[in-house]
Each structure stands twice: as C-alpha cells, then as structure tokens.
Amino acid sequence: MSLIIPSKQKASDLPEQGLAPTREQIVRHLRHESVVAERATLMDHHPFGAILVGPDQETVLIEQGNVDTVNHAEAVLARIAAINFTPKYLWSCTLYTTVEPCCMCAGTAYWANIGRVVFGMTEERLLQATGDHAENPTMSVSSRYVFDHCQKRVDLIGPVVEVEEEIMQVQREFWKLRWD
C-alpha cells in the first residue's frame, strides 16, 4: 500500500463534487451499506457500515464495517481512502453510511477530502435505539453542524426516508440484545 501525499489546495481550487447520485442510486447504496453494517455484527461489532462510491455513482470502491468505539466505519473508510486515492478524485466520490456520521467521522471524511456524504438515519434517531447504553454514548453534534463550519462545502444528503426504518430495525434488534 502506498501513501499518497495530498498537494496543497485551497477550497476555491476544488471542482464541484461532480455527478450527483440519483434517488435510486442513493437508496440502493444505502441498502448495500446496511448489509455491511449487519456483517459487522457477525464479528460482535456495532451495526454501522460505510461504503465509498466512485465518481460514476455506481462503482463501490471500499466497504467498511464498524471496528470499535474509536474506529467507526466511516472514519476507517475515510483513512483508507485518503491513502489510496488523490484528494481531487475523492472530492467526486460519495461516502454512504447507515447512520449520520458523528462529529469525529464527519471531520475525518472532510479531512480525507470526500466531497459528498449520504446517510440513512439521523444520530438523533440512533439515540432512540441505543438509549444511554455505555457502548454508544452518542453526541448531540450533527454532521450538518460540522460540515457547515468547514472551509470546503461537503454535500450532505440525509436522512433518506425510504431506508430509515430498515436501518432503525437493525439498530433496535442489535441494541435490544445488548440491553438484555
């Protein structure tokens, strides 16, 4: 694996995020990454998943399930992407994630130069599934707030109503077992 050192770029030097995903692509990719999240539970990891889709809005470049409380699916994926693709290329890619990225994951996606993030359900809805469980002390800092305070404009899409309940069901089932 080689390390790609990003060139110095100003936010004004970056192109637009490129081809926008269609609604059908958004729903399909969110369902795909939801399978990645469910796969993470088979390794006793929390049910979060992320995929990185290329500029064509079809090609899945990376899949990543949650690892642990510090290595969230989105952050691990963004770090892997940052060492394997150029910042310019990543600016036209889309990161899909089951649940709205926490402030750590939103920041990591931003620093990796991923230009678009799509999430299925909000962090607020996640809190409804997890309650105050010690394994998931959610933060009340939305990814929108994080991205609104960045120098580059990351395109943020979500929540996506077509898949929100499907994602919530996976979360409820997982966290119910953790409470029992």
- Distance (Å, rounded) from C-alpha 76 to C-alpha 109? 10
Place of tokens 């580059």: 152
What three-state secondary structure class fits 54?
coil
CA distances from 48 to 118, 128, 141 (A): 14, 15, 18
Pick the catalytic residue from 33, 74, 100, 123.
74
Give residue 96's region: left, alpha or beta (phi > 0; psi -120 to 50).
beta
Q: Are strands 116-121 and 94-99 parallel, antiparallel or unpaired?
A: parallel
What three-state secondary structure class fits 159?
coil
H or E stretch at 146 = helix 143-148
Pick from 31, 112, 35, 101: nearest CA to 72? 101
Give yes or no: 124 in active site: no
Q: Which residues are catalytic?
A: 74
